[in-house]
């Protein structure tokens, strides 16, 4: 599917005013454009399911790669659950209810989507727990890396200063890194 088809499908399923609260069109384009970096059968972990928009976008954009997304949230994800079911994505998106700092998950990760608690100390804890599980050559997508989320920027910059990776240049609120 091309981006416009996915965007239309998303807009028919999720009211745009709802998903725009979470992801801008530029963010969605970024996810779509990363398909060439996503290896077949990738294990994707998302911190922060929320409305389900980003998980659904990853599933639709990277469909050819046959990925499984484990998306974690400690809040109410009934809306996301319903959308995922309606779109027939139950086999590719698995929702995990729990605190990202407490969920027991030890499998190697190919793609990590960081979009949970945005407070500095919480982001630091998430990065300490989850980034070591990302394989060398795996992708880390830091969402909301911008001037309105300085806690995220500070935590991510600290992590980047201590961990090697190459950056993929994108035009959105994402910071995207290939872990070394
Ligand atoms: C920015 S929203 C995620 C947006 C989502 N990716 C989307 O597409 O709608 C952040 C989410 O992180 C969740 N969250 C915050 N702190 C958390 C924690 N410690 N553990 C798990 N989820 C958390 C919130 O409940 C919220 O749904």
Q: Check if 54 has its Cβ closer than 6 Å to any atom of ligand 1.
A: yes
Q: What is the pLDDT of residue 132?
A: 97
For residue range 109-159, list pLDDT tens digits in order.
Answer: 999 999 999 999 999 999 999 999 999 999 999 999 999 999 999 999 999
Ligand 1 centroid, distance to 161 Cα (angstroms):
25
The backbone region for 130, taken as left when phi is positive above 0, alpha when psi lies in -120 to 50, beta otherwise, is alpha
Looking at every residue in the chain, the average pLDDT score rounds to 95
What's the whole-number mean pLDDT along residues 86-106?
A: 97
Residue-range domain boundaries for the chain: 3-179
CA separation for the pair 82, 84 (Å, rounded): 6
Q: Check if 30 has its Cβ closer than 6 Å to any atom of ligand 1.
A: no
What's the whole-number mean pLDDT along residues 82-105?
A: 97
- H or E element in which residue 72 lies: strand 68-73
Please give the number of the atom of ligand 1 that sits closest to the Cα of 21. 9
Class of domain 3-179: alpha beta
Phi and psi torsions of 32, nearest 5°: -55, -45
What's the whole-number mean pLDDT along residues 56-84?
A: 95
Name the residue of 49, 129, 173 to mutate for ligand 1: max ligand atoms within 8 A of Cβ: 49
Ligand 1 centroid, distance to 100 Cα (angstroms):
9
Q: Check if 100 has its Cβ closer than 6 Å to any atom of ligand 1.
A: yes
What are the residues whose beta carbons fall under 8 Å from the beta carbon of 43, sequence distance 6 or more?
67, 68, 70, 107, 108, 109, 110, 111
In Å, how far are 66, 84, 143 from 148, measured between CA atoms?
A: 34, 29, 12
| pTM summary value | 0.97
Q: What is the pLDDT of residue 15?
A: 84
168 contacts 140 by C-beta, under 8 angstroms: no
Q: What is the pLDDT of residue 74?
A: 98
Work out whether the CA dihedral 134, 155, 141, 100 comes out positive or negative.
positive
What's the whole-number mean pLDDT along residues 13-41?
A: 92
The percent of residues above 90 in pLDDT, for the chain, comes to: 89
């Amino acid at each position: 599917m091309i981006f416009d088809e996915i965007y239309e499908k998303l807009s028919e399923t999720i009211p745009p005013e709802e998903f725009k609260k979470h992801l801008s069109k530029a963010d969605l384009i970024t996810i779509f454009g990363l398909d060439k970096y996503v290896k077949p059968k990738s294990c994707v972990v998302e911190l922060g399911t929320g409305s389900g928009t980003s998980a659904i976008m990853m599933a639709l954009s990277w469909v050819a790669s046959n990925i499984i997304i484990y998306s974690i949230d400690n809040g109410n994800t009934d809306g996301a659950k319903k959308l995922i079911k309606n779109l027939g994505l139950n086999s590719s998106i698995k929702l995990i209810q729990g605190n990202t700092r407490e969920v027991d998950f030890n499998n190697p990760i190919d793609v990590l989507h960081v979009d949970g608690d945005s407070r500095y100390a919480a982001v630091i804890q998430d990065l300490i727990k989850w980034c070591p599980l990302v394989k060398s050559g795996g992708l880390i997508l830091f969402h909301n890396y911008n001037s309105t989320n300085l806690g995220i920027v500070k935590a991510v910059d600290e992590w980047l200063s201590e961990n090697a990776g190459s950056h993929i240049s994108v035009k959105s609120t994402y910071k995207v890194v290939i872990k070394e």
